Amino acid sequence: MSLNPINPNDPNLRSFAEIDRELLLPKGSAFRAFKALADEFREGEDFFCCDSRLDPAGFADWTATGRFYGGTVNAVLLGARAQSRLKQGLGR
Please report, for the chain, the start and end positions of each structural domain, with discontinuous segments joined by +.
14-89
For 8-50, the pLDDT digits (tens) are: 778 899 999 999 999 999 999 999 999 999 999 999 999 998 8
Please state the pTM of the whole predicted model. Answer: 0.86
Q: Is the pLDDT of residue 54 over 70?
A: yes
For residue 59, the model assigns a pLDDT of 85
Average pLDDT over residues 54-81: 89
- Tell me how far apart the alpha carbons of residues 35 and 88 are, in angstroms, rounded to a whole number: 14
Q: pLDDT-derived band of residue 3, with 50, 70 and 90 as boundaries? A: very low
For residue 5, the model assigns a pLDDT of 55
Q: Is the pLDDT of residue 83 over 80?
A: yes
- Tell me how far apart the alpha carbons of residues 36 and 5 are, in angstroms, rounded to a whole number: 26
Distances (CA, A) of 44 to 3, 68, 79, 80: 11, 19, 9, 12
